[in-house]
Amino acid sequence: MRSTENFNKLLPTAFLTAYPRTFTDIPYSEQIFSALEDIKRVDGIIFGDDILSKNLAPGLEARYKMVDKLLGNLGFTQVLELAAGLSPRGVIFTENNAQTRYVELDLPEMAQLKREVFSRCGIMPTDNLHICSGSALAESDIDEAVSHFDPRQPVAIVSEGLLPYFGFEEKSILARHIVSVLEKFGGYWVSNDAPAVNGLNRVKRVAKQASVRPLVSTKNFSPDLFDDLDHFVRFFEAFGLEVVVHDLEEVLPLLTSPVRLGLDKAETRRKLSEYSSVAVMRLRTDVSLSD
């Protein structure tokens, strides 16, 4: 039995990212959004359509595909995704490679929503995809999630859009949990929450704008946001992590949403420059990330 209050708060957030994905070629995007619309209609949930913005598509698509590219380069077959939301990555990875063990750790309401959405879409996850309920800030929940992995194999940990919701103390707790996992398994942490390479922090700027503050995407952000990329790097280096940052322009040739939205390359580059970068982190005791 789901909590109606929490569920009603969660659904607009799910719409916010699911709708722009329909302008991309990311598999299952249209089916997931259609299932959300069905749930909204059946449950009689009402919220304004002003949260549906196709203009978010290029940035969200680039962040998604940058993470995919980095995971592909690593070649790991064990992935832990924190706060995966309605991302279809776990389904896609386990469908494409039967050897992949993919674990998603989400708050109970989101994990339940994902299962319901998948059921409505007819998506049948393989036995190698585990959708777990819990918190990324709870060590016991992290331990339970990684219990699905082979300790002899490295792990890629993924977090998309998670850090802005955490204060610096919570960010520290998360970093310590991730370091603990990397010490046990080895591997990388891939986060797309690093401020843009050009030094701007779009998240911090947008969160302060009165015109967008009511949006579900920003109203729950913590005030403890990174000032710039250097701030981000120094923060996580303090936990013994080596940080390498990738610009979203690396995946510009892979994007399909700009064509569907009628954007030229210059306009697409401008949009991507305002978005967060993707950071790849691992324990400093390992060999250079550039190897």
Q: Per-residue pLDDT tens for 80-122?
A: 999 999 999 999 999 999 999 999 999 999 999 999 999 999 9
What are the residue boundaries of the structural domains of the chain, listed by start?
Answer: 4-283
For the record, the structure tokens of 230 come out as: 């250097």
What percent of the chain lies above the pLDDT cut of 90?
Answer: 70
If you search the block for the tokens 């598509």, which residue do you land on? 57
Burial group, residue 50, by CB count within 10 angstroms (0-12, 13-18, 19+): exposed
Nearest to 89 by CA among 15, 147, 138, 100: 100
Please provide the CATH number assigned to the domain covering 4-283: 3.40.50.150
Other Cβ atoms within 10 Å of 138 Cβ, number = 13
What are 205-215's pLDDT values in tens digits? Answer: 444 443 333 34
Is 200 exposed, middle or buried (CB count within 10 Å of its CB: 0-12, 13-18, 19+)? middle
Q: Cα–Cα distance between 74 and 76 in angstroms, integer?
A: 6
pTM of this prediction?
0.88
Low-confidence ranges of the chain (pLDDT < 50): 1, 199-201, 204-218, 287-291
Q: What is the CA radius of gyration of the chain?
A: 18
Predicted local confidence at residue 247, as pLDDT: 93
pLDDT at 224: 79
- pLDDT value of position 204: 47
Please check whether residue 236 is in contact with residue 188, taking contact to mean a CB–CB distance below 8 angstroms. no
